[in-house]
């Protein structure tokens, strides 16, 4: 303490400095009054546990499922014994309760509730709620110098970042333990992991998406592990607040962050369109470059080798985000005769398929092994990653290369295989369009497989208008055929189509086939086919019966006519239904007839149809219409020869699977669709 002009003021000096000093002691003869001893606090009752920060006690009541209480019942119980549902006001209290409930894992009521929405959350015992943050507009929360948004819906990291950008924000950047603790306290109530803005690159180094230096980390034990070498994004665990690397395509909730002083305009910020082109040998589509590799047997690779090769060329195995990209790749495969690897995988055995590039899974195209292989071309099928296959690589465009030319496409004589398509204007009726095609030595377009479908649809998208195609039923009394007599082996009907009995068909902008009145007007697609096309079997003379009151048309094939029913009947009832029409359940005499039946039943929604074969009392398989049995197409079931077996005694009827044409024996009381067959009349 200074003297002189600074008398009475305190100063800090070196402890070794010499100075006068002042002592203090009690005056002689003075009697001192001892300080009162603090009144001891009452102890918690038996089985109750104290808080170190408040004069309260906690007790956990664990009940079997049948004895558990609603929130209101639990509150009444606690109040009846002189307490209330627990309120929690410190980390210590939360730890006390956490230790208590470890003995009986489950969910427990606390006193936190939002019974009056206009008041927000409150504690039932009336104690104050201490918020570390302030809610502002549109669900954002203000904390220190930042605003945070906790999503209520899940998405891929890519779409989460897009959402934040539209809000003039970024995925959250966590720069301190206090900020992590604040976020964790909010996440802990949600029961959902959330994306943050940290990414892991292929060299396993970290960076924040907005470029902020990484100065703080809070990884969960044994993380990041970069599993399958495709975990490039990071989530915060709601249970611990620690971080885990994850595939960016996995759907999770997310946290956006923006500076509270940032200026937010009404318009969302725009991202400039990427520029650049593709190197030689790579194909440009939708701002990406693609390349099909491993066409030769010796160049094929397993999935991991294929991915490594794609990465070494600056990309990854292809991801397919939509129908358009699927169609583009289909066109590239139409003459390749190969099943290439793509980037979709479940290498982590998590029962969830993700793209190895980290893109979200927004589109899938799985196959069905029971279906006709032609219909399944281009569909996806999982298999052992060790198999050797061709593969499709994908990478970003190169800014150093020129962009693909964007001149208006020429819609005439577009080559596809040995044929070419053209688009014809102006809008015309179906008959007018057919006449215009014929005048140009072509025909309204037919479509014979998923490859030609994909090719034509991509050009329809460029054209921007629905187009007539060559399928119709107005010239055949309700039976849809191609105008050039191409065999109808493939269809791509829109849902609920074909809706009209007598109509013409157009392709819409979704690539689906739809029926319309033939006097409606559309643009048209024509086809100039070179070489021989597979045609329908020649029709023998005769006429099919007129349609009955149900309006269902008979379909001609060679010397017979057929009707296809999807209603479910037992075999004897189906037999009777056909008999009422003067017909029988169909016999099948050769592959041509089998393919005809498959082509027509595959367009319907049912897969199994009774046919006219049955086992007679002598144990012989015969056709109901007495056709000689000289052709069969059984499934790979073992023949049943034991007359005392269940299968021999009761499986006496046969159905056909429409997707693969195989025949199966079955007990006759099962209900299935059925096919009727009748001879053509001579008149």
Q: What is the largest CA-CA distance in the chain?
A: 144
* 530 alpha carbon, distance to own chain's centre: 40
**What pLDDT score was predicted for residue 284?**
93
Joined tokens for residue 647: 């299968």
**What pLDDT score was predicted for residue 334?**
84
Question: What is the distance between the alpha carbons of residues 663 and 257, in angstroms, rounded to a whole number?
Answer: 62
Residue count of the chain: 683
User: What percent helix, strand, coil does the chain show, rounded to 5?
Assistant: 20, 25, 55
**What pLDDT score was predicted for residue 451?**
92
pLDDT in tens, 346-392: 988 778 899 999 999 999 998 865 555 666 788 899 999 999 999 99
Q: What is the mean pLDDT of residues 451-475?
A: 92
pLDDT in tens, 38-49: 666 678 999 899
Residues 6+ apart with CB under 8 A from 188: 238, 239, 241
Tell me how many degrees the CA angle 409-415-417 measures, rounded to the nearest 5: 150
Q: pLDDT grade, residue 477 (50/70/90)? A: low
How is residue 253 annotated by DSSP? E
Question: What is the distance between the alpha carbons of residues 340 and 380, in angstroms, rounded to a whole number?
Answer: 10
Question: What is the distance between the alpha carbons of residues 299 and 598, in angstroms, rounded to a whole number?
Answer: 37
Asked if residue 267 lies in contact with residue 229, where contact means CB atoms within 8 angstroms, the answer is: no
Q: Tell me the CA end-to-end span of the chain in Å, nearest whole number.
A: 131
How deeply is 311 buried, as exposed, middle or buried, from its count of CB atoms within 10 A (0-12, 13-18, 19+)? Answer: middle
Lowest mean pLDDT among 281-290, 524-533, 648-657: 524-533
Buried b (16+ CB within 10 A) or exposed e, 137-155: eeebbebeebbbbbbeebb
Joined tokens for residue 234: 């990071």
How deeply is 198 buried, as exposed, middle or buried, from its count of CB atoms within 10 A (0-12, 13-18, 19+)? Answer: buried
Q: What is the mean pLDDT of residues 561-575?
A: 95
Question: What is the distance between the alpha carbons of residues 174 and 245, in angstroms, rounded to a whole number?
Answer: 15
Q: Say whether pLDDT at 310 is over 90.
A: yes
Q: What percent of the chain has pLDDT above 90?
A: 48
DSSP string, 162-180: HHHHHTT-EE----SHHHH
Asked if residue 599 lies in contact with residue 593, where contact means CB atoms within 8 angstroms, the answer is: no
The pTM for the full model equals 0.63
Q: pLDDT grade, residue 133 (50/70/90)? A: low
**What pLDDT score was predicted for residue 229?**
86
Q: What is the mean pLDDT of residues 647-662?
A: 89
Average pLDDT taken over every residue of the chain: 86
DSSP string, 117-184: GGG--EETT-PPP--SSEE-GGG-EEETTEEEEE-SS-B-HHHHHHHHHHTT-EE----SHHHHHHHH
Asked if residue 375 lies in contact with residue 450, where contact means CB atoms within 8 angstroms, the answer is: yes
Q: What is the mean pLDDT of residues 191-206?
A: 88
- Which has more confidence, 486 or 290? 290
Asked if residue 537 lies in contact with residue 558, where contact means CB atoms within 8 angstroms, the answer is: yes
Question: What is the distance between the alpha carbons of residues 82 and 216, in angstroms, rounded to a whole number?
Answer: 47
Joined tokens for residue 486: 């191409």
**What pLDDT score was predicted for residue 176?**
92
Joined tokens for residue 578: 């056909």
pLDDT in tens, 594-633: 999 998 998 787 899 999 999 888 777 889 998 877 788 8
**What pLDDT score was predicted for residue 369?**
59
Domains of the chain and CATH, by start = 49-123 (3.10.100.10), 134-259 (3.10.100.10), 283-396 (3.10.100.10), 414-529 (3.10.100.10), 555-679 (3.10.100.10)
Residues 6+ apart with CB under 8 A from 208: 173, 197, 198, 199, 214
**What pLDDT score was predicted for residue 38?**
61
Residues 412, 413, 415, 418: is their CA dihedral positive or negative? positive
Strand 316-317 relative to strand 391-396: parallel, antiparallel, unpaired?
A: antiparallel
Joined tokens for residue 671: 């209900």
**What pLDDT score was predicted for residue 204?**
77
**What pLDDT score was predicted for residue 529?**
84
Nearest to 244 by CA among 198, 289, 205: 198
pLDDT in tens, 199-246: 988 777 889 999 999 999 999 999 988 888 889 999 999 989 999 999
DSSP string, 265-323: -SSPP-PPPP--B--TT-EEETTEEEEEE--SGGG-B-HHHHHHHHHHTT-EE----SH
Helix (H) or strand (E) holding 595: helix 591-601
Asked if residue 467 lies in contact with residue 522, where contact means CB atoms within 8 angstroms, the answer is: yes
**What pLDDT score was predicted for residue 289?**
95
Task: Report CA-CA distances (Å) from 626 to 542, 617, 634.
Answer: 21, 15, 19
């Amino acid at each position: 303490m200074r003297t002189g002009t600074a008398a009475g003021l305190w100063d800090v000096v070196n402890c070794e400095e010499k100075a006068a000093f002042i002592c203090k002691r009690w005056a002689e003869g003075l009697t001192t009054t001892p300080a009162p001893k603090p009144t001891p606090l009452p102890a918690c009752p038996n089985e109750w546990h104290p808080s170190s920060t408040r004069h309260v006690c906690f007790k956990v009541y664990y009940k079997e499922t049948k004895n558990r209480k609603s929130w209101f019942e639990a509150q009444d119980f606690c109040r009846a014994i002189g307490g209330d549902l627990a309120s929690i006001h410190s980390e210590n209290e939360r730890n006390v309760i956490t230790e208590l409930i470890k003995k009986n894992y489950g969910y427990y009521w606390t006193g936190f509730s939002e019974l009056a929405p206009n008041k927000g959350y409150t504690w039932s015992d009336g104690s104050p709620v201490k918020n570390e943050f302030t809610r502002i507009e549109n669900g954002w929360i203000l904390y220190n110098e930042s605003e945070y948004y906790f999503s209520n819906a899940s998405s891929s990291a890519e779409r989460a970042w897009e959402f934040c950008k539209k809000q003039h924000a970024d995925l959250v950047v966590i720069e301190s333990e206090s900020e992590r603790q604040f976020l964790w306290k909010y996440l802990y109530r949600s029961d959902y992991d959330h994306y943050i803005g940290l990414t892991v690159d292929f060299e396993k180094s970290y960076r924040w998406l907005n470029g902020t230096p990484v100065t703080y980390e809070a990884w969960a034990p044994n993380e990041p592990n970069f599993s399958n070498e495709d975990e490039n994004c990071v989530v915060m665990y709601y249970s611990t607040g620690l971080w885990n690397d994850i595939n960016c395509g996995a759907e999770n909730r997310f946290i956006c962050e923006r500076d509270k002083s940032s200026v937010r305009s009404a318009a969302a910020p725009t991202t400039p369109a990427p520029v650049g082109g593709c190197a030689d040998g790579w194909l440009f589509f939708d701002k990406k470059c693609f390349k099909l590799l491993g066409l030769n047997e010796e160049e094929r690779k397993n999935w991991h080798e294929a991915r490594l090769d794609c990465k070494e060329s600056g990309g990854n195995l292809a991801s397919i985000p939509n129908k358009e990209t699927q169609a583009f790749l289909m066109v590239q495969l139409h003459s390749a005769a190969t099943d290439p690897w793509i980037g979709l995988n479940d290498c982590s055995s998590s029962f969830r398929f993700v793209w190895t590039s980290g893109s979200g899974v927004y589109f899938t195209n799985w196959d069905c092994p029971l279906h006709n292989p032609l219909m399944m071309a281009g569909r996806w099928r999982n298999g052992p990653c060790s198999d050797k296959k061709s593969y499709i690589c994908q990478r970003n465009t190169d800014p150093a290369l020129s962009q693909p030319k964007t001149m208006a496409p020429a819609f005439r004589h577009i080559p596809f295989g040995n044929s070419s398509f053209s688009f014809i204007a102006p809008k015309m009726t179906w008959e007018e369009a057919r006449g215009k095609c014929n005048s140009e030595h072509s025909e309204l377009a037919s479509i014979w497989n998923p490859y030609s479908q994909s090719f034509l649809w991509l050009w329809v998208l460029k054209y921007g208008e629905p187009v007539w195609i060559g399928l119709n039923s107005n010239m055949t009394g309700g039976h849809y055929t191609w105008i050039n007599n191409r065999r109808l082996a493939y269809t791509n009907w829109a849902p609920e189509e074909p809706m009209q009995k007598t109509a013409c068909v157009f392709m819409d902008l979704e690539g689906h086939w739809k029926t319309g009145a033939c006097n409606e007007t559309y643009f048209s697609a024509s086809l100039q086919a070179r070489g021989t096309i597979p045609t329908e079997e020649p029709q023998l003379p005769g006429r099919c019966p007129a349609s009955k009151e149900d309006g269902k048309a008979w379909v001609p094939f060679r010397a017979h006519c057929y009707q296809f029913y999807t209603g479910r009947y037992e075999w004897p009832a189906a037999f009777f239904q056909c008999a009422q029409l003067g017909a029988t359940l169909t016999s099948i005499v050769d592959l041509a007839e089998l393919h005809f039946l498959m082509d027509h039943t595959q367009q319907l929604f049912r897969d199994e149809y009774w046919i006219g074969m049955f086992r007679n009392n002598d144990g012989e398989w015969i056709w109901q219409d007495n056709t000689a049995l000289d052709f069969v197409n059984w499934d790979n079931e073992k023949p049943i020869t034991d007359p005392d077996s269940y299968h021999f005694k009761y499986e006496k009827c046969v159905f056909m699977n429409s997707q693969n044409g195989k025949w199966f024996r079955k007990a006759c009381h099962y209900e299935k669709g059925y096919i009727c067959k009748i001879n053509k009349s001579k008149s």
